[in-house]
Structure 1
Amino acid sequence: MDTSIYYGIYKSFYQTINYINQTLNPDIPLLVGGPTTGNDQWQYFLDTYKADTDPAKRLDFLSYHPYMFNGSRPNYGPLDYQNQYKGVRQYLDGLLAARGLSTGIPIIASEYGAYPVDSSNNRLMSTAADASIDYYFLDESNTYPIRFATRKDNEEGVEAFFNQFAIQPGKVTTQYNLMLMQSQMKTTRVAASSDSLDTHGFGVYGEASSDESGVSVMAWNYQSDRSIQNSYTTTINVNNLPAQFSGKNIRVQRYLIDATHSNNQFDASNSDLQQVEDTTLAPNSSFSETVSLGPNAMTQIILTSVSDSTGNTITDNLNDWSQLGTNGSHSDNWRFDASNGANFEGDTSRATRTSDSVETIVYNYTNISTFSARIYYFNGAASPIKFYISGDGRNWTPLSVSAASTAYITGNWTRSVFSPSTSFSSGTNYVKVEFSSDSNIWTPQLSQMTFTTG
Structure 2
Amino acid sequence: MDFGARQGELPRPEKYNNFGNAAAWPQQRADDVAYLNEQGLHGEVYRVWLSNANAPGTNVFDTCELATQTCDFSAVDAYLTQASSVSDSLLVNLSPSAFVRGRRPLAELRPMLELILRNLKEKYPDVKYVEAFNEPDWQFHGQERRAGRPADQTTLQPGDLYRFYAPFYEAVGDVNKNVRRGDRIQVGGPALMWMDPKWMEPFLDDFAADRNPRKRLDFISYHAYLSWDDKYQTPTRYVSDLSAVASQRRTLAGWLKQRRLDTDLPAFITETGIYPGPSFDDTDPRNDYVRQAAAMATYSYLYANQPDTYMFNWCVRHFAEERKDQFVTRTPDGPLTDTFTPYGNMLLMQSRMKDTRVSAVSDNLEGDNGIYATASKDRTGASLMVWNWQHVNDTSYRTTVDMTRLPSELRHGPVRRQLFRIDQTTSNYFTDPTKADLQLVDDKIVKPGKTYTETIDLAPNAIYLILLEPVRR
**TM bin (shorter chain):** 0.5 to 0.7
* Separation of aligned partners in 2, 1:208 and 1:70: 35
Return the match for 2:169 from 11, 14, 21: 14
Offset of 1:67 from its aligned partner? 1.8
Question: Residue 398 of structure 2 is aligned with which of 222, 233, 249?
Answer: 233
> 2:185 is aligned with what amino acid?
L
Q: 2:291 aligns with which of 125, 138, 147?
A: 125
Following TM superposition, by how much is the alpha carbon of 1:63 offset from its aligned partner in structure 2, in angstroms? Answer: 0.9
Task: Find the residue that maps to 2:161 and give its secondary structure.
Answer: helix
Structure 2 CA distance for aligned equivalents of residues 230 and 101 of structure 1: 44
| Cα shift readout 1:91-148 (whole Å, capped 9, x = no counterpart) | 1011011122221111111111121324343110111000000011111111111111
Aligned-pair CA distance for 1:87:
2.1
Q: Which residue number corresponds to residue 141 of structure 1?
A: 307
Which residue does the alignment assign to 1:197? 365
Computed over aligned residues only, the root mean square deviation of the Cα atoms, in angstroms, reads 2.3
Which stretches in structure 1 are left out of the alignment for 5+ residues? 310-454
| Structure 1 position 248 matched with structure 2 position 403 | no
Q: Deviations over 1:172-207 (max 9, x none)?
A: 210111011101100001100111112x21011111
The C-alpha deviation readout for 1:36-90, integer Å capped at 9, x for no partner, is 123222112112222323232211111111222599xxxx996653222212221
Distance 2:228 2:409 in 1: 44
Which of the residues 247, 253, 258 maps onto 1:87? 247
For residues 329-351 of structure 1, the C-alpha deviation after alignment (integer angstroms, 9 at most, x for no partner) is xxxxxxxxxxxxxxxxxxxxxxx
Identity of aligned residues (%): 35
- Unaligned stretches of 5+ in structure 2? 1-139, 141-155, 230-235
Structure number with higher strand proportion: 1
- Give the whole-Å Cα distance in 1 for the aligned partners of 2:228 and 2:319: 29
What is the distance in 1 between the residues matched to 2:409 and 2:257? Answer: 46
Counterpart selection for 2:349 from 177, 181, 187: 181
The CA distance in 2 between the partners of 1:283 and 1:290, in whole Å, is 14
From the two aligned structures, give the one with the greater helix fraction: 2
For 1:248 and 1:159, how far apart are their aligned partners in 2?
42
How many residue pairs align between the two structures? 301
The equivalent of 1:67 in structure 2 is: 225
CA distance in 2, matches of 1:68, 1:84: 9
| 1:262-273 matches, cutoff 5 A | 262-273=427-438
Cα deviation, residue 239, structure 1? 0.9
CA contact (8 A) 1:68 1:81 kept: no
Q: Which moved more, 1:241-250 or 1:210-219?
A: 241-250
Residues 1:70 and 1:303: Cα distance change in structure 2 (over 3 Å): farther
Query: CA separation in 1, counterparts of 2:431 and 2:221?
Result: 37
The equivalent of 1:161 in structure 2 is: 327
SS of 1:140 mapped into structure 2: coil
Given that 1:69 and 1:85 are in contact with CA atoms closer than 8 Å, whether structure 2 keeps it comes out as no
Query: Are 1:55 and 2:213 an aligned pair?
Result: yes
**Residue aligned with 2:323, SS:** coil
2-structure distance, mates of 1:148, 1:163: 14
For the pair 1:111 / 2:278, whether they are aligned, the reply is no
Q: Secondary structure at the match of 2:187?
A: coil
**Residues 383-398 of structure 1: matches in 2 within 5 Å?**
none
Aligned to 1:220: 387
| Distance in 1 between residues matched to 2:204 and 2:400, nearest whole Å | 47
Q: CA deviation at 1:286?
A: 1.2
Q: Residues 172 and 95 of structure 1: is their aligned pair in 2 closer, same or farther, counting only changes over 3 Å?
A: same
Using structure 2 for the length normalisation, give the TM-score. 0.60
Q: Does residue 1:35 correspond to 2:172, yes or no?
A: no
Taking structure 1 as the reference length, what is the TM-score of the superposition?
Answer: 0.62
SS in 2 for 1:20: helix
The aligned counterpart of 1:389 is none
Aligned mates of 2:332, 2:311 — CA distance in 1: 30
Q: Distance in 1 between matches of 2:227 and 2:403?
A: 34
Amino acid of the residue matched to residue 190 of structure 1? V
Measured at CA, do residues 167 and 260 of structure 1 come closer, stay the same or move farther in structure 2, by a change above 3 Å? farther
- CA–CA distance in structure 1, aligned partners of residues 444 and 205 of structure 2: 59
**What is the match of residue 405 of structure 1?**
none
Q: Deviations over 1:252-283 (max 9, x none)?
A: 11001111110111101220011011111235
Q: Which secondary structure does the structure 2 equivalent of 1:33 belong to?
A: strand
- Structure 1 residue ranges (4+ consecutive) displaced by more than 4 angstroms after TM superposition: 23-26, 76-80
Contact 1:190 1:210 (C-alpha < 8 Å) held by counterparts? yes
Most deviating of 171-180 and 208-217: 171-180
Q: What is the one-letter code of the residue matched to 1:112?
A: T
* Offset of residue 28 of structure 1: 2.4
With a CA cutoff of 8 Å and minimum separation of 6, indicate the structure with the bigger relative contact order. Answer: 2
Amino acid at match of 2:328: F
